[in-house]
Structure 1
Amino acid sequence: MNKWLLAILLSLSLGWAYAQQDVNTESTANSGAEENYQFADEQQRQLFLTLTAELRCPLCQNQNIADSDAMIAHDMRRKVYQLIQQGNDEQQVLDFMKSRYGDFVHYQPPVTPYTMWLWLLPVLFAVFALVMITRKQRVQEPSDLEEKLARADELLKREE
C-alpha cells in the first residue's frame, strides 16, 4: 500500500513540476524572445508566413516551424528569412529545405514509388480483409450438408 501511495505522490509532484516548467517557458517566450524580421515589401512577408506554415519542425514533427519553439525551428525560420532576402522564390526555398532536412520537412511530400505505398497499402489491406470476410461467410453448399447428414444417420444406425 505504501508503494502505491509513494508512486501517486511522485507522479503528482512530477506533473506539477512539468506544469510549472511550461508556465515558465511560456512567460519567457512571450517576454520578447520572438524574432522580428524586416521585409522589403508585403509580398516577401506573405511568402515568409506561407513557408513557415508549410515547413514541419523536425524535432516537434506535428508543428510547423512558425509555431514551434524548438531551437531548430528558430534556425529554420532564420534560414527561410535569409533565403527570401537573397531573392529566392518559394520553390527554391522549399528545395533547399528538402535537400537539407529531407522530404519529411514539407507537409506536402512528393509522390514517389516509396510514398505511393502509403496510399496503396491501406486500400490493399481493406480489399484483402473484405475478401477474407466474404470467404468465411460463404454458406456451405447443400450437397456437402446432405453428405454430413448421411454420415450422421449411419453412425446413429450403428449405435442401435
Structure 2
Amino acid sequence: MRACLMLLLLAVLKLHMPLLHAGEARPLAADEPTEKRLIAISSELRCLVCQNESLAGSHAELANDLRREIRTLIQDGRSDAEIMEFMVSRYGDFVRYRPPLKGTTLLLWFGPGLLFVAGLTALLLYLRRRDRTISDPPLSADEQGRAEALLQEQNSRQGPA
C-alpha cells in the first residue's frame, strides 16, 4: 500500500513538473532599454503602500500604476532626473530611498545617530548615578567597634581552627 502511494505521488509530481519550472519574465514594454530604465528608476523609489519595499519589487496596485506612469514618461523622452523630479514633486522626498540632504530631511539623515548618542548618554548617566547610590558610606567609629566585636564573638564560638 505504501509503495502504491509513493508511485502515485511520483506520477503526480512528474505530470506537474513542467509547471514548477519558472521561466524568464517577459518584459512589459516592447523595447528592452525602456524596461531597463524603468527598473533602474523604480528601484530608487519607495513604494508608498509598502514603505519598506522598492517600487520595482512591490506588487501593490499603486506601485503598478506608478511603474506604468514612469514607463509613459520614459516613452515621452523624459530623462531620469526629470522623472525623479516629477515623482518627488508629486509625492515628496519620502518617495526616494536616498532623499537629498536639505533642511527638511536633516532629521531623516541624522536622527538615528542623534537618537543613539542620546540613548548612550542617558545610559551612562543612569549607571553613574546608580553607582553613587549603591556605594556604601564608611562606617563610623561606633559601628566599626560593634562590627569587630561581632567578628570576635563569632570567632570565639567557632573555636580554634
TM (norm. structure 2) is: 0.58
Structure 1 partner of 2:77: 87
Distance apart, 1:150 and its partner CA: 4.3
Distance 1:114 1:129 in 2: 22
Q: Deviation per CA, 1:118-156, whole angstroms, max 9, x where unpaired?
A: 331122212221232233234748xx424xx34746999
Distance 1:153 1:46 in 2: 83
1:68 counterpart SS class: coil
Which of 80, 97, 106 matches 1:107?
Answer: 97
Q: Deviation per CA, 1:70-121, whole angstroms, max 9, x where unpaired?
A: 1110110011112222222222222211221222221112333332323311
Structure 1 partner of 2:127: 133
- Which runs of structure 2 are paired with 1:8-157 in the superposition (5 Å)? 36-39=28-31, 42=33, 44-111=34-101, 112-115=105-108, 116-138=110-132, 140=135, 144-146=137-139, 149-150=140-141, 152=143
Distance apart, 1:67 and its partner CA: 2.0
- Larger Rg over CA atoms: 2
List runs of 5+ in structure 1 lacking aligned partners: 1-29
Show structure 1 runs of 4+ deviating over 4 A.
Answer: 150-156
Contact 2:28–2:35 (CA under 8 A) maintained in structure 1: no
1:145 counterpart SS class: coil
Distance 1:107 1:101 in 2: 13
Contact 2:27–2:35 (CA under 8 A) maintained in structure 1: no
Q: Compared with structure 1, are the counterparts of its residues 50 and 100 closer, same or farther at alpha carbon in structure 2 (3 Å cutoff)?
A: same
TM (norm. structure 1) is: 0.58
1:132 counterpart SS class: helix
Distance 2:129 2:72 in 1: 61
Distance 2:92 2:142 in 1: 67
RMSD: 3.1
List runs of 5+ in structure 2 lacking aligned partners: 1-21, 148-161
Range that drifts further, 67-76 or 112-121 = 112-121
Distance 1:98 1:87 in 2: 18
Q: Compared with structure 1, are the counterparts of its residues 106 and 152 closer, same or farther at alpha carbon in structure 2 (3 Å cutoff)?
A: same
- Give me the identity figure in percent: 32
